[in-house]
């Protein structure tokens, strides 16, 4: 692990979904700044793998199995973090995602679509799929905050980072559940920021644009690496003309959790190559 100014030395950072593509990089960045990092994930192997990688690079980390939708699982994980690293100073609510059951086949409902039995339209969306997405993104951020933010009460320099998305500003076609759930995350970020303000706990969110990850790779690129129609649309709508890389999130994360941003709370930072600023014309 390269030397840095170790601005987070001694702090304990908990990152849910830390075994995932984006949060692995965030976990690594926090460790590089000297934080002791707990990688919480439903996928225990990935959590341990990320923690081992950090340790090999000279950082301090543990991988802990946790389901962000189960209070008992989070309470157990919290105890492990307390025993091995100490009380939580920084919480990154990174677990989240979409589900095909909350997704329509086409962006627009058009003449004749209802006669096509094979086409999943808005009318066919399964409420179980919608609930899954709302739970994973919203409840999956609320519950870890209930369990870990109690550690922050009475301490200085604590903060929470939620992960919102582009579609919280303007919904993306086909994914009403994910768009609604991320809009709820942006709103919750503001609500919590106000609620925790007298305790000095700051709450902010990152809103990544389009990052090429395993979840969306087949939607955005073909097997030969060329862009799909949707991928082309995204790039054409991104003034900076490329997909995001996980590393693009790091500087905003480090700024938001550091004392340099001590007067910043309740904001949602778009990291999107200008996507949310561009009307398309």
Nearer to ligand NAD, 34 or 159 (CB): 159
* 178 has catalytic annotation: yes
**First vs last Cα of the chain: how many Å apart?**
44
Nearer to ligand NAD, 34 or 133 (CB): 133
Q: Are 16 and 94 spatial neighbours (Cβ–Cβ below 8 Å)? A: yes
> Which of 33, 41, 89, 248: binder of ligand NAD (CB under 6 A)?
41
Question: Any alpha helices (H) in 85-175, and if so which ranges?
Answer: 127-134, 140-148
Paired residues of 200 in beta bridges? none
> Which of 8, 35, 48, 95: binder of ligand NAD (CB under 6 A)?
95
Site size for ligand NAD, by CB under 6 A?
29
Can you read off the two tokens belonging to residue 221? 């690129």
165 belongs to the binding site for ligand NAD (CB under 6 A):
yes
| DSSP for 202-224, written as a single string | EEEEEEE--B--TTTHHHHB-TT
- Residue 71 burial (CB count, 10 A): 13
Q: Name the closest residue to ligand NAD (Cβ).
A: 20
254-258 long-range contacts (CB < 8 A, ≥24 apart) are 254/7, 254/29, 254/30, 254/33, 256/159, 256/161, 256/202, 256/204, 256/206, 257/8, 257/13, 257/30, 257/90, 257/159, 257/161, 258/7, 258/8
> Which of 30, 35, 51, 66: binder of ligand NAD (CB under 6 A)?
66
170 belongs to the binding site for ligand NAD (CB under 6 A):
no
Nearer to ligand NAD, 197 or 215 (CB): 215
Nearer to ligand NAD, 158 or 163 (CB): 163
163 belongs to the binding site for ligand NAD (CB under 6 A):
yes
> Which of 97, 171, 200, 266: binder of ligand NAD (CB under 6 A)?
97
Residues 117 and 136: their CA atoms lie apart, in Å, by 29
Detail the DSSP E strand segments found in 125-278: 159-163, 202-208, 268-271
Q: How far is the CB of 143 from ligand NAD (least distance, A)?
A: 10
Nearer to ligand NAD, 37 or 42 (CB): 42
19 belongs to the binding site for ligand NAD (CB under 6 A):
yes
> Which of 4, 7, 43, 190: binder of ligand NAD (CB under 6 A)?
43
25 belongs to the binding site for ligand NAD (CB under 6 A):
no
Residues 214 and 205: their CA atoms lie apart, in Å, by 22
What positions carry a catalytic annotation? 178
Using CB under 6 A as the criterion, which residues of the chain lie in contact with ligand NAD when the complex forms? 16-17, 19-23, 41-43, 46, 66-69, 94-97, 136, 140, 163, 165, 208, 210-211, 213, 215-216
């Amino acid at each position: 692990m390269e030397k840095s100014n170790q601005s987070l030395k001694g702090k304990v950072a908990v990152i849910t979904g830390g075994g995932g593509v984006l949060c692995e990089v965030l976990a690594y960045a926090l460790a590089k700044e000297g934080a002791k990092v707990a990688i919480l994930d439903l996928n225990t192997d990935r959590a341990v793998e990320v923690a081992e990688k950090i340790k090999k690079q000279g950082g301090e980390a543990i991988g802990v199995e946790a389901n962000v939708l189960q209070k008992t699982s989070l309470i157990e994980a919290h105890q492990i973090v307390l025993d091995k690293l100490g009380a939580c100073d920084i919480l990154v609510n990174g677990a989240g995602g979409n589900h095909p059951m909350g997704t329509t086949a086409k962006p627009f409902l058009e003449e004749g679509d209802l006669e096509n039995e094979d086409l999943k339209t808005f009318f066919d969306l399964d409420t179980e799929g919608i609930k899954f997405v709302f739970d994973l993104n919203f409840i999956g951020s609320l519950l870890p905050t209930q369990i870990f933010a109690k550690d922050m009460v009475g301490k200085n320099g604590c903060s929470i980072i939620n992960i919102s998305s582009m579609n919280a500003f303007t919904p993306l076609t086909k994914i009403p559940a994910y768009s609604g759930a991320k809009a709820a995350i942006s709103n919750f970020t503001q609500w919590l920021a106000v609620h925790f303000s007298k305790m000095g706990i700051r709450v902010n969110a990152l809103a990544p644009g389009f990052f090429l990850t395993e979840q969306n790779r087949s939607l955005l690129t073909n097997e030969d690496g060329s862009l799909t129609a949707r991928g082309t649309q995204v790039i054409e709508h991104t003034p900076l003309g490329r997909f995001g890389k996980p590393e693009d999130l790091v500087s905003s994360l480090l700024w938001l959790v550091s004392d340099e941003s001590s007067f910043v709370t309740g904001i949602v930072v778009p990291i999107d190559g200008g996507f949310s600023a561009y009307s398309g014309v």
